[in-house]
A and B are shown apart, each in its own frame.
Chain A
Amino acid sequence: MSHHKLEVKDLNFMYPDGHKAINGISFCIHHGESVGIVGANGAGKSTLLMLIMGILFPTKGQVLIGDVKVTKSTLPMIRQRLGMVFQDPDDQLFMTTVYDDVAFGPRNYKLDEDEVHERVIEALELVGIAHLKDRAPFKLSGGEKRVAAMATVLSMQPDVLIMDEPTSSLDPKSRRRIMNILKGFDHTKIITSHDLDMIFDICHRVIVIKDGGIAADGITSEILSDSKLMDLCGLEVPLALQNCPCCRAKKS
């Protein structure tokens, strides 16, 4: 399905203060792939996501969704197909009830109110918080807010899900719940995170960003177990791949 393909070609971006955040990045993500984008703080992960979503526009290069280039005129169509979940769910939940927040996207696309209702309930059930639909978002726990933020994007039925640090500042149970929800999605997924164990668990492919460029791109288990590469990029081998902390025995 080529229309689900996401292609980034020789992407460059410089902030107005002269800081070059993205430096010649190219990759192609196909339908159904789960791709983790990892890198140290300030490596350019968030900027890359903003360029893909059309919040920022590249100084050079292009982003293609299917065969459509991300430009100002194609943004409405692009944003219907790409759904982004922000790192801070408070940025995404600004209405008075969870229902209204989840309905915000579909209503903006002028869908019939019956269809909006169907989509909202479907999205809430998908993430398992249908019982919270009438609650005020500010009264939810951190984990509930995170899944509510996911539902706000899922209700738009995007082809590609883009998530910025989906498991940051969550307790272990909430983190596991988010991971299970993510695993259950058939969407193409792009996930940026410092939680390398989560990336190892969910993503088949990983792109390592260093100083605005790609340091490595390949199969997750191969890249994340390369301790030299990880160290060079300001990262660590995931705990799941490290030796046993007690007896130092190698994990099989």
Chain B
Amino acid sequence: MASIMNSLYNMRLLDDLSQKDTFVHRLHPLVKLLATVVYLTVVVSFGRYEISSLLVFLFYPVLIFAFAEIPVVPILKRLFIIEPLIIGIGILNPIFDHQFITFYGIEFSRGWVTLFSIIIKSGLTVTSALLLVATTGMDKLSGAMRMLKIPRIFIMQLLLTYRYITVMMEEVARTLRAYSLRAPNQKGIHRSAWGSLAGQLILRTFDRAQRIYQSMCLRGYTGEYNIGRQSPMNLYDLLYLTVWCLFFIIARIYNIPFIIGSFVTGGI
């Protein structure tokens, strides 16, 4: 039960972090969204066997962590939640990939390289997406998406899911607490109660969602989610976007770690 309450609190942590007032938080949401989109595109565009070129992309999340004063551990915890899925996708690569490579005299399947590359890519992309939410906030992010002319229906779906998921989890936590108090010796929930519990939860969630929707309608909601005036972009915003995009493109074209390595070891 405590874990559910914790995860509920943790879910709201991103919202809390987005309220900070740092140089990164003050940047225009659209700029941060575009920089993240370019970053994601460039990271996923690398081939299966390219690992060394990817490492330089760690710079982006590391710098955002530092400048936006975002705590590293909570973000990494969220990243680890999805890692089992990522490993599940790539775990069979070492078995099915029959080609071998030699690294410092050790011969192993190239599948290990692809698995490792998938883990790095997922780590980078998920962290950057989490950092985007933690430095911008969902409301401002939706405003940025509206500026990009993304259809309203998708933005609404995203925002309402983000809002209602906490509402649903609160209902779950309350129901589970009531269950555990009357079943102190049980670990988890007995399967005989699964059906009725899930049914109850769905009905209660519908009920709550209905009331929230009604309260929105009573305050003039007609399907448009208004988030207020967006401040115009300034020179710093454009500079931020330009510098990052240039860095991503250069890092995509040239293998920077290799160049630095060669330079240091006298290869160039």
Contact = CB atoms under 8 A, between A and B. Distances in A.
A82 B221 CA distance: 14
B212 interface: yes
Interface stretch (A106-114, A198-206, A220-228, A238-246): A106-114
Interface stretch (A15-23, A28-36, A87-95, A207-215): A87-95
A105 B220 contact: yes
Contacts, number: 72
Interface string A53-93: 10100000000000000000000100110111010101110
B224 A103 contact: no
B214 interface: yes
A83 B218 CA distance: 7
A108 B224 contact: yes
A108 B219 contact: yes
B221 to A, nearest CB: 5
Contacts of A138: 12, 166
Nearest to A107: B226
Given A88-B211, A134-B19, A94 B220 contact: no
A92 B218 CA distance: 10
B220 A103 contact: no
A79 B215 contact: no
Mostly, the B contact residues are helix
A7 interface: no
Interface string B166-188: 11000000000000000000000
A94 B214 contact: no
A152 interface: yes
Contacts of B222: 76, 108
A76 to B, nearest CB: 7
B191 interface: no
Contacts of A95: 139
B4 to A, nearest CB: 15
B11 to A, nearest CB: 11
Nearest to A55: B214
Contacts of B166: 138
A97 B224 CA distance: 19
A153 interface: yes
A147 interface: no
B228 A113 contact: yes
Contact of B220 (A80, A97, A113): A80
B163 interface: yes
B220 A116 contact: no
A96 B214 contact: no
B219 A156 contact: yes
B219 A94 contact: no
A246 B212 CA distance: 45
B162 to A, nearest CB: 10
B131 interface: no
Given A96-B137, A113-B228, A136 B16 contact: yes
B139 A100 contact: yes
B219 A152 contact: yes
A108 B19 contact: no
A13 interface: no
Nearest to B214: A55
Contacts of A152: 219
A126 B216 CA distance: 22
Interface string A146-184: 000000110010000000000000000000000000000
Interface in B1-60: 12, 15-16, 18-19
A76 B18 CA distance: 33
A97 B19 contact: yes
B208 interface: yes
A110 B227 CA distance: 11
B149 interface: no
B158 to A, nearest CB: 14
Contact of A76 (B163, B216, B220, B226): B220
Interface of B: 12, 15-16, 18-19, 137-139, 163, 166-167, 208, 211-212, 214-222, 224, 226-229
Interface of A: 53, 55, 76, 79-80, 82-84, 86, 88, 90-92, 94-97, 100, 103-105, 107-110, 113, 116, 134, 136, 138, 152-153, 156
Q: Closest 3 CB pairs between A and B?
A: A108-B220, A105-B219, A107-B226
22 contacts: A53-B218, A76-B220, A76-B222, A79-B220, A82-B218, A84-B215, A84-B218, A86-B211, A86-B215, A90-B167, A91-B212, A91-B214, A94-B216, A100-B139, A100-B228, A107-B227, A108-B221, A108-B222, A113-B228, A116-B228, A136-B15, A138-B12
Given A79-B217, A96-B137, A107-B226, 11 more contacts: A80-B220, A91-B208, A96-B139, A100-B228, A104-B219, A108-B219, A108-B220, A108-B221, A109-B220, A110-B226, A152-B219
